[in-house]
Amino acid sequence: MALKFPHLFEPITLGKTVFRNRIFASPTGFQNGDHLNLPSKELIAYYELKALGGAAAVTMGDCLVDSKNGRVTKVQFPLDDTNQKGPLSSLCKAITRHGAVASLELQHGGMYARTTGEQLGYVWGPSATMLPFRPGGSPQVKSDGKMIEVREMSEEMIEYTISRFGDAALFAKERGFGMVMIHGGHGWLVSQFMSSKTNKRKDRWGGSLENRMRFPLAIIEDIRKKCGRDFPIEFRMSGSECNPAGYDLDEGIRIAQMLDGKVDLIHVSAGNHEIFDVFFITHPSMFHEDGCNVKYAAEIKKHVKTPVATVGALSDPAMMEEIIASGLAVVVELGRQTLADPDLPIKARTGREDEINQCLRCYSCFSECDATCHFLCAINPVIGNEYEAKFDLSPKYKKKVLVAGGGISGMQAALTCAERGHEVILCEKTAELGGILLCEEQVPFKKKL
Ligand SMILES: Cc1cc2nc3c(=O)[nH]c(=O)nc-3n(C[C@H](O)[C@H](O)[C@H](O)COP(=O)(O)O)c2cc1C
């Protein structure tokens, strides 16, 4: 049978590694570890689900290259802790045994390393300042109410940090990971060096773009030296910082040109995690058009030879096929869609695209994570229960189940019970299923919901 989405399912080779298709699972840093920050079984099952669903690469998000100086949250995974060896190898195996390439994102919070700031009373950035901002625009403060000092990194500190990236990449490679992603976007340390908004240095690490790019390029070189030329490196960047103080797409193009030929995949995102208004560009809401950030990747792709990936608000395989077929990008990366329905790749490949549950972009995943360090998805009850869902939960006895109410929860409860083999009666007092969604349906800009 001819494939409906031939471009989407054409394998691609990066470094010397073959990826089975063009759908990569973008990092969604589920930070469910134990008290030692070791990945839990739930976390491993969470990433396994993405591989099982057919993604070509599955990236574990926001892993720390320097746990003392770069920690944003208490629950990030430190790559400089040898206790991670066993659990990270297990996580890697859980991904690769389903044919996906396991990748790991290398991150350092720099001036936004809030937990480091809480612990040390200061953080490191390209330049000294006292007023780093948190999402929402409030100053970053210690729990005692004092401002946290951002110290300018010394030459030694810069060299040390570069080597932490290289060491972390080697640590990942030795655990079996087939690729690393340098987090050079969204306002974290690497991009703090790249952006003149945060990099005010007067030495060889600041000033001209060539100088500001010295830090990311040195990281890439260090990883190449330690992991070899064939080990694929994906570089995540913001195509534009999307705010007047940051760099624009023209400078994003120049940044990509400087990365060209030095990394295996240039992954073009947008915006900045730490600026409230721009957060919604980095993570488009349901009120944004599907594929609203593709324009950044598409423009950059015109100026580089290195393969370019796009990300943001992608849930429809027909649109993904079109993006690749028309040359706007060579890889599509899915974030929240891999929570809403990790089986998108396999469904699209086997002609079941009408069965795909498309992400609502409602932010339930984020809000739950903030509150409980667990993910939840408004339309996928498996998220948050991935480990339990790995096992056959068929009931010993078939029951007759009455579900009262045909709103979204009732409908999902009925589906889950039916899938488990029970006999289900779903009662709804009105003439139509849908509950509150029937009202939302009338609001044109809520069509996604
Ligand atoms: C819950 C959640 C966690 C995320 N964690 C990370 C992360 O650890 N590292 C990162 O670079 N991006 C992270 N992102 C951003 C995604 O990789 C992606 O760029 C963004 O969500 C836009 O893509 P989407 O519309 O397909 O979700 C996260 C996004 C979400 C929703």
Which CATH number does the domain housing residue 58 bear? 3.20.20.70
Which pLDDT belongs to residue 133?
A: 44
Spacing, Cα 26 to ligand 1 middle (Å): 7
Print the domain residue range for 417: 400-446
> What is the H or E stretch that residue 267 is in?
strand 265-269
Nearest CA to ligand 1 atom 28: 28
- Using CB atoms within 10 A of its CB, is residue 261 exposed (0-12), middle (13-18) or buried (19+)? exposed
- Per-residue pLDDT tens digits for 131-187: 544 544 445 555 566 678 999 999 999 999 999 999 999 999 999 999 999 999 999
Report the distance separating Cα 343 and Cα 339, nearest Å.
9
Nearest CA to ligand 1 atom 1: 366
Of the three residues 350, 369, 389, the one that is the final residue of a domain is 389
Spacing, Cα 205 to ligand 1 middle (Å): 29
Whether residue 268 is contained in a domain is answered as yes
Which pLDDT belongs to residue 229?
A: 96
Same domain, 228 and 134: yes
Spacing, Cα 48 to ligand 1 middle (Å): 17
Nearest-atom number in ligand 1 for the CA of 269 is 19
Which pLDDT belongs to residue 125?
A: 97
Q: What is the mean pLDDT of each run of 10 residues along the chain (449 residues)?
A: 93 97 94 79 94 98 96 90 94 97 97 89 91 48 70 98 98 98 97 96 98 98 98 98 94 98 98 88 94 98 98 98 98 98 98 96 86 84 88 83 95 92 96 91 81
Residue 181 pairs with which residues in a beta bridge?
105, 234
Same domain, 296 and 407: no
Whether residue 6 is contained in a domain is answered as no
Same domain, 59 and 152: yes
Same domain, 300 and 422: no
Nearest CA to ligand 1 atom 31: 336
Whether residue 318 is contained in a domain is answered as yes
Tokens for 315?
């849930």
Whether residue 368 is contained in a domain is answered as yes
Whether residue 221 is contained in a domain is answered as yes
Are the C-beta atoms of residues 42 and 33 closer than 8 Å to each other? no
- Per-residue pLDDT tens digits for 342-364: 999 999 999 999 999 999 999 99
Same domain, 328 and 413: no
Spacing, Cα 359 to ligand 1 middle (Å): 13
Same domain, 329 and 362: yes
Nearest-atom number in ligand 1 for the CA of 185 is 11
Same domain, 384 and 441: no
Nearest CA to ligand 1 atom 10: 27
Which pLDDT belongs to residue 135?
A: 42
Report the distance separating Cα 199 and Cα 207, nearest Å.
8
Whether residue 278 is contained in a domain is answered as yes
Spacing, Cα 283 to ligand 1 middle (Å): 7
Spacing, Cα 51 to ligand 1 middle (Å): 17
Pick from 190, 239, 199, 195: which is nearest to 219 by CA? 190
Same domain, 293 and 324: yes
Give, for ligand 1, the residue of 265, 289, 336, 357 to mutate: max count of ligand atoms closer than 8 Å to Cβ: 336
Spacing, Cα 27 to ligand 1 middle (Å): 6
Whether residue 120 is contained in a domain is answered as yes
Nearest CA to ligand 1 atom 12: 27
Same domain, 356 and 427: no
Same domain, 225 and 339: yes
Same domain, 110 and 219: yes
Spacing, Cα 247 to ligand 1 middle (Å): 21
Spacing, Cα 282 to ligand 1 middle (Å): 8
Report the distance separating Cα 266 and Cα 47, nearest Å.
22
Which pLDDT belongs to residue 301?
A: 98
244-247 long-range contacts, Cβ below 8 Å, gap at least 24? 245/197, 246/195, 246/197, 246/272, 247/194, 247/195, 247/196, 247/197
Query: How far out from the chain centre does Cα 27 lie?
Result: 2
- Using CB atoms within 10 A of its CB, is residue 291 exposed (0-12), middle (13-18) or buried (19+)? buried
Same domain, 141 and 184: yes
Q: Which residues line ligand 1 (CB under 6 A)?
A: 26-29, 61-62, 105, 183, 236, 269, 283-284, 311-314, 334-337, 365-366, 369
How many domains does the chain divide into? Answer: 2
pTM above 0.85, yes or no: yes
Place of tokens 């690393």: 180
- The percent of residues in the chain predicted with pLDDT above 70, rounded, is 96
Nearest CA to ligand 1 atom 23: 312
Pick from 274, 273, 109, 247: which is nearest to 189 by CA? 109
Nearest CA to ligand 1 atom 2: 28
Whether residue 4 is contained in a domain is answered as no
